[in-house]
Amino acid sequence: MFSLIVGNRGSGKTKMLIDMANERAKTSNGTSIFIDADKSHMYDLPHNVRYISTMDLPLQSAQEFFGFICGLMASDYDLENLYIDGLKKTMKGSMDEIAENIKRVEAYAEVSNVKVVATVTCEMEEIPEELKKYIKE
């Protein structure tokens, strides 16, 4: 399952994502991972949510980010929840590249039984039509 939280800067997307991760951490038996472009929210999450900052990784494209995500899912059979804050920053690609890789992430998440929730900072009109089905209201 894949969900997108879309909104402008300062609209509360990150807070919503952190709240979701904190709530799921209370009841989840599996692993939860929170990916961010920097380390600014590291202390907003409990210790049982693994925090990964992409600023420490040499990722340069949406394709490399997709490979990284697949590696996380393939290496942890207990992974239940994956949270990605700031998809445009972490994926480092155009909206078309991001859209293509989101479809690939969703397909692999479905097979791996991982719930993926990501935020993207943009206007609703910037979201490609094929991604609108993932938007969480």
Check pLDDT > 70 for residue 127: yes
Domain that residue 10 falls in:
2-134
Q: What angle do CA 87, 50, 46 make, to 5 degrees?
A: 110
State the residue for tokens 């209201």. 137
Check pLDDT > 90 for residue 52: yes
What residues contact 69, with CB distance under 8 A and at least 6 apart? 82, 105, 108
Write the CATH number for 14: 3.40.50.300
pLDDT (tens digit per residue) in 67-113: 999 999 999 999 999 999 999 888 888 888 888 989 999 999 999 99
User: Residues 114-123, buried b or exposed e (16+ Cβ, 10 A)?
Assistant: bbbbbbbbee
State the residue for tokens 């719930």. 115
In the predicted model, what is the mean pLDDT of residues 8-24? 95
pTM above 0.95, yes or no: no
Number of domains the chain contains = 1
- Hey, what amino acid is at 29? N
